[in-house]
Structure 1
């Protein structure tokens, strides 16, 4: 029976609790029962949700102490938009979140448990993964679980039928887009109703134009948004917009990915899981990608956007005041850090890549193997705009700014001046 078809048959939000429910979800009252760990999940899409369920079930089966995981699932976007309130309210014991700056931000606020003691025994994680799991204080707070690179996705069969070649430079990318238009295709599937998908395009144009170090400093508030470097990013993006699917601010990422699957669009800038989740089993092997093209030869294709997802312990969880519950939560993270735990997850969700060197990659699909190669050859790895910067800056400034640009790309000066003004206010609040 087709795994994807079964999963797709379930309603996307079926069984997902609302955020208020999650905010009050503390199993067993203050302290819990010592063996049940509550886990806040943002995996509301069917494929990852099922895969996580399989992994947690496997954990429970191997637990000699009879430990259990109570999962509270929330719509992905709702979870992200309310994470700050969630962590300062009544969070679950363990929750899914992101590596890098987004983790460091909450660690600095004292909302995460230090798990450096667990990291002392973790095996199979590279120094880069440890660095992305480390706070500004040098302590570790995240147990990484998987990553997924962003690239330009397309259908192999469509490229073969039309004689298209993967472009290496921006000029070749534009030339291919023009050719697709003549062939009655939408060159680039495009969406931003969810507020984050278009950030991937911004990041790649920025890193290809100005380099990874500039990207990192810009995200940290150390570079001016109204300088010539950022203006050049938006000017380049404006050059690409005529080849992008119109009405992006009203289109979800699922709808954009489906247009790629239906051969209505020729290309799409996405993370590995996004188009894969919309392709049926018998078409998965037709999905392919190429790295975002070169803009400035000085920076080439050195940087790859490859967000890392993982698990953290919420400091304000009432349950974790119980030493037995804290021990159970740490036991869960220790198991999730193993290659075996990642293998179980990836058997049910082939749209991500294991972070542990101990994971079994022999069963990887050709697309997964290509993704591993892409990241392995990268000189720098970014985490994504809404993960590399402050969450308040990302949500209150950059989401509306990018959506405004998509609707009206002709006032770049006004746009970047407005971003810079708000950036100064927000980053001065520390």
Structure 2
């Protein structure tokens, strides 16, 4: 898997305080305590929750799992880490990891990596490394974002995967004529729409522009960004209406019920399809090319995994747990229950991979550039307080792109400075 990043993004913790995570936290006694290791989990949907439980059973010491709703966990992570976090917790690679490492809110696990490092590619290690060169993250899996569809529906209608945006729009119109909603869409949680923005931006402006924009180095009221929103506005008639009142899971159900033809989402959407013929009916194609000069070789493929609190109650136990979580056996145990991702460990068992997993692995390994998703590639405070409401404002009123981008740029300047 060839993941590369051209820039190590830097940032500072936002001033806005967030409500603490209810029920979370092992407390802080300077790392000298013992007892069961506490694990803060944001894997709250049924399938991944069961997979985490199955994986933890393979550890040779007691682990107390504290599961919190995924969105609540993300939205309140600042207070969680500044309060009494669990010894080990689930989080994300890349910038989202680096951000908290720079604030001293997570623990250095470089010694853990000296034991587990041989099982991961150099690219994976880079995604686990902070700006100071130390490791803070243990990867579990990655999953690409792509356009998913049901093979049976497409075979019945004679549809073929589009390679360009013109073909994508023509197919969407054909689906409307056939009585289907072309694109499932739900954004009540705020983050799913980021995937659409990212892919349009990657296809129109390229990967370097994406990185620089997320780092606050490019103006949001530039013509390049306006072009992204203009292109999105032209696609909105093919999206499922009233997206702000629908979760991504509810949108996935319309694809399951064969009411829609496509869905731009992460590979995790397979969780919404019953195991067996229904899940086997899923397939995907890469987001289409818009500009031949830019191409379509950039892929969104977020990496999920684990981190340690800066001052865990049971540091020795926390690091032992992380050493276990950094094994192929642990990843195999997880993916046996939740086969909707691709293992990060080089030695993970891929013999039982589904066609979807194999195709996902091929897509990511063949990509020239890998992004981690908008809310993982930029400052957490900017993503949550500016971009979520701004993208939802665009979905409510897509015609005022000038006003929208001006507002984003003004808010960006106050957060990033300059």
Contact persistence 1:112–1:313 (CA under 8 A): yes
- Tell me what 1:373 maps to: 362
Shift of 1:30: 7.6
Query: Unaligned stretches of 5+ in structure 1?
Result: 1-17, 320-324
CA distance in 1, matches of 2:27, 2:415: 32
CA RMSD of aligned residues (A): 1.4
Contact persistence 1:142–1:311 (CA under 8 A): yes
CA distance in 2, matches of 1:49, 1:35: 23
Shift of 1:124: 2.1
Please give the per-residue CA displacement for 1:360-416, whole angstroms capped at 9, x wherever unaligned. Answer: 100000000000000010011100000000000000000000000011000000000
Q: How does 1:30-69 map to 2 (within 5 A)?
A: 34-59=34-59, 63=60, 67-69=61-63
Task: For residue 79 of structure 2, give the secondary structure of its aligned residue in structure 1.
Answer: helix
**2:228 is aligned with 1:233:** yes
Shift of 1:31: 5.7
Contact persistence 2:21–2:77 (CA under 8 A): no
- Tell me what 1:125 maps to: 120
CA distance in 1, matches of 2:292, 2:114: 41
CA distance in 2, matches of 1:36, 1:297: 55
TM-score (norm 2): 0.93
- Tell me what 1:292 maps to: 287
**2:144 is aligned with 1:142:** no
Aligned to 1:383, which of 360, 364, 372?
372
CA distance in 2, matches of 1:130, 1:222: 26
Contact persistence 1:89–1:316 (CA under 8 A): no
CA distance in 2, matches of 1:390, 1:93: 24
Please give the per-residue CA displacement for 1:289-309, whole angstroms capped at 9, x wherever unaligned. Answer: 000000111221111100000
Task: For residue 299 of structure 2, give the secondary structure of its aligned residue in structure 1.
Answer: strand
- Tell me what 2:110 maps to: 116
Structure 1: 4+ residue segments shifted above 3 A = 29-33
**2:23 is aligned with 1:21:** yes
CA distance in 2, matches of 1:367, 1:423: 38
CA distance in 2, matches of 1:154, 1:82: 33
Shift of 1:33: 5.6
Task: For residue 43 of structure 1, give the secondary structure of its aligned residue in structure 2.
Answer: coil
Query: Unaligned stretches of 5+ in structure 2?
Result: 1-19
Task: For residue 250 of structure 2, give the secondary structure of its aligned residue in structure 1.
Answer: helix
- Tell me what 2:174 maps to: 179
**2:359 is aligned with 1:396:** no
Shift of 1:316: 4.0
CA 26–57 in structure 1, closer or farther in 2 if over 3 Å, else same: farther
Task: For residue 58 of structure 1, give the secondary structure of its aligned residue in structure 2.
Answer: coil
Q: How does 1:228-377 map to 2 (within 5 A)?
A: 228-274=223-269, 276-282=270-276, 283-317=278-312, 319=313, 325-377=314-366
Shift of 1:128: 1.3
Please give the per-residue CA displacement for 1:151-193, whole angstroms capped at 9, x wherever unaligned. Answer: 0000000000000010000000000000000001000001110
Shift of 1:280: 1.1
Please give the per-residue CA displacement for 1:238-276, whole angstroms capped at 9, x wherever unaligned. Answer: 1100000000011101100000100111000000012x1
CA distance in 1, matches of 2:49, 2:294: 37
CA distance in 1, matches of 2:47, 2:356: 17
Contact persistence 2:93–2:305 (CA under 8 A): yes
CA distance in 2, matches of 1:332, 1:421: 44
Q: How does 1:183-194 map to 2 (within 5 A)?
A: 183-194=178-189
CA distance in 2, matches of 1:300, 1:362: 32
TM-score (norm 1): 0.90
Matched pairs, number? 397
Shift of 1:340: 1.0
Contact persistence 1:90–1:316 (CA under 8 A): no
Contact persistence 1:201–1:269 (CA under 8 A): yes
**2:408 is aligned with 1:414:** no
Contact persistence 2:27–2:83 (CA under 8 A): no
CA distance in 2, matches of 1:398, 1:19: 22
Contact persistence 1:88–1:316 (CA under 8 A): no
- Tell me what 2:91 maps to: 97
CA distance in 1, matches of 2:253, 2:32: 43
